[in-house]
Chains A and B, each alone.
Chain A
Amino acid sequence: MAHSWRTAYFKQGLADYQLFLTLEKTENIPLCHRLHYLQMMTEKLAKGFKTEPTAKEAHPFTHAAFVTLLRIVKDRPEFMQACNIGTKEQFLAYLKGLNSLAATIQGLAPDLADKGPNPEYPWQIPQGVMAPIDFNFPDLNLNAKDLRLIKMLKFIDICFQIAQRELDNT
């Protein structure tokens, strides 16, 4: 089944998101695998919004699109309304707290991890080599269910709802 690039990014991002939700509900899934899907789904979400609907070629992206997406959507009324937030001040305040976390999630991409912690490939440490399966990712411990992560996951869900709405209307 052939799509536009934009549609394909949204569809694959949504599929990644559904698997992420399944992993979150499943016991004993290593944190690295869950974070891997978190990074991949946000990257595809951002790439979807970055792709012009009639583009005939893949956009020459970097992995660094998710942080910029958050900066852009803070000025989008449809995202604010989808969050059920009444004023722009409240919306900005909500998103402001997510910027650094967005950068941390984006930074999980191996190409951006600069030979450091990432959920996919081992990396060099002074004592030898670290495997993601053994690393506790202290800034992104999904097990801790901290408020920032919950807010971020809720917002990512909103973004995917808007992507799905666009797919449904295509």
Chain B
Amino acid sequence: MTVRTVEKSIRQAALDLARFNVESEPEILKIYLFPDEKEIRFVVVDPTTLPSKSVSPFYFAAAPGEGLPYKSAVALILPDEEKRLPTPEGWDWSDAEIIWSRD
């Protein structure tokens, strides 16, 4: 009998990462997920971060051993920068989904 390993979907992986992100972090207000087939793309709304001129992510390789089967990109913005800052190529605010919210 063949044992098939079902890899976590990118959306489920994003949900898991978002839950980890907000654990013990009362300052995080919201997490946006920008859709992509191969990369988890987060914009995290954090009123304690520094102002930005654009959405400027940090990029991380996949780490399957740590429950991260997909590569990811994470940026921090202030609340009044939501949907206003220019985004990297291929990221569009109109496609972004709020995957977690403190409200």
Closest residue on chain B to residue A163 by CB atoms: B61
For the residues of B in contact with A, the DSSP-based class is mixed
Complex interface bits, A64-98 against B, C-beta within 8 A gives 1, otherwise 0: 10011101101111100100000011001000000
Closest residue on chain B to residue A169 by CB atoms: B61
Instruction: Let me know if B73 is at the binding interface, CB within 8 A.
Output: yes
Instruction: Let me know if A34 is at the binding interface, CB within 8 A.
Output: no
The reply to whether A49 and B60 contact each other, CB–CB distance below 8 Å, is: yes
Interface size in chain A (residues, C-beta < 8 A): 25
**CB-CB under 8 A for A166 and B61, given A77-B20, A88-B24:** yes
The reply to whether B23 and A81 contact each other, CB–CB distance below 8 Å, is: no
Instruction: Let me know if B87 is at the binding interface, CB within 8 A.
Output: no
A69 and B44 CA atoms in complex are apart in Å by 14
Instruction: Let me know if B3 is at the binding interface, CB within 8 A.
Output: no
A81 and B67 CA atoms in complex are apart in Å by 11
The reply to whether B58 and A50 contact each other, CB–CB distance below 8 Å, is: yes
Instruction: Let me know if A51 is at the binding interface, CB within 8 A.
Output: yes
The 4 closest A-B pairs by CB, nearest first: A78-B63, A75-B21, A78-B66, A166-B61
| Chain A contacts to B: CB under 8 angstroms | 6, 49-53, 59, 64, 67-69, 71-72, 74-78, 81, 88-89, 92, 165-166, 169
